[in-house]
Amino acid sequence: MRTKTEIISNEAGHLADAAHDFISTTAEVAGDAGVEVRKQLEAVVDRGRVYYDRVCETAVDGARAADEAVHQQPYKSLAITLGVGVIFGFLLARR
């Protein structure tokens, strides 16, 4: 079974591939006006890949840090989780 990260990564790759296919397909049709648009689209796709990679890296680093913190101080983590749950329960019950 694939994880959500793998599915999102796969879909982002398909989107980038489709954009590049679009760029190459319309290269001859659009003429000079389309050249600038294609360049901008390529730049956006490339920036999107960079941002996606950064977000994935940050998310993985955060998950590792949280996992390490929970393993180092399990009772403190449990108490914090219980406290947050009580606060959310109280706020939702008031509605």
pLDDT in tens, 24-62: 776 666 666 667 777 777 788 778 888 888 888 898 899
- Nearest CA to 27 out of 18, 37, 15, 14 is that of 37
Instruction: List the domain range (segments joined by +) for residue 30.
Output: 4-94
The total of structural domains in the chain comes to 1
Residue recorded with tokens 């993985």: 60
CA distance 23 to 30: 10
Cut 0.85: pTM above it? no
Percent of the chain whose predicted confidence (pLDDT) is above 90: 26
3-class state of residue 93 by DSSP? helix
What are the residues whose beta carbons fall under 8 Å from the beta carbon of 63, sequence distance 6 or more?
none
Length of the chain: 95
- Residue 56 is predicted with a pLDDT of 82
